[in-house]
Structure 1
Amino acid sequence: MAQVLKEEIRQRIYDAALVAFYEKDFLSATMKEIALKAGIPVGLVYSYYKNKAALFDEIVDTVLIDITGILREEERETGKPSDNFEKVGEGALLKLFDDHKRIVILMDKSKGTKHEHARDELVEIIEQHIETSFSKRCQQDYESAFIHILASNFTESILEIARHYKSKEWARHMLSLVNKAYFEGVNAL
Structure 2
Amino acid sequence: MVTYTAAQYRDQLVSLLPPGAAWGGGAVSPTLGALLEGWSAEFERLDLRVEQLGEEVDPRTAYELLGDWERNLGLPDPCTAAATTISGRQSAALRKLALQAGQTPAFYTELAASIGFEVVIHEFDPDVDAYDASLTALIGGGAWRYVWRVEVLNAGDFTYARIGDAVGTRLVEGDAALDLECLLHAAKPAHTVVIFSYPET
TM-score normalised by structure 2 residue count: 0.24
Greater fraction helix: 1
TM-score normalised by structure 1 residue count: 0.25
Q: Which of the pair has more CA radius of gyration?
A: 2
Greater fraction strand: 2
Considering Cα pairs closer than 8 Å and 6+ residues apart, tell me whether 1 or 2 has the greater RCO.
Answer: 1
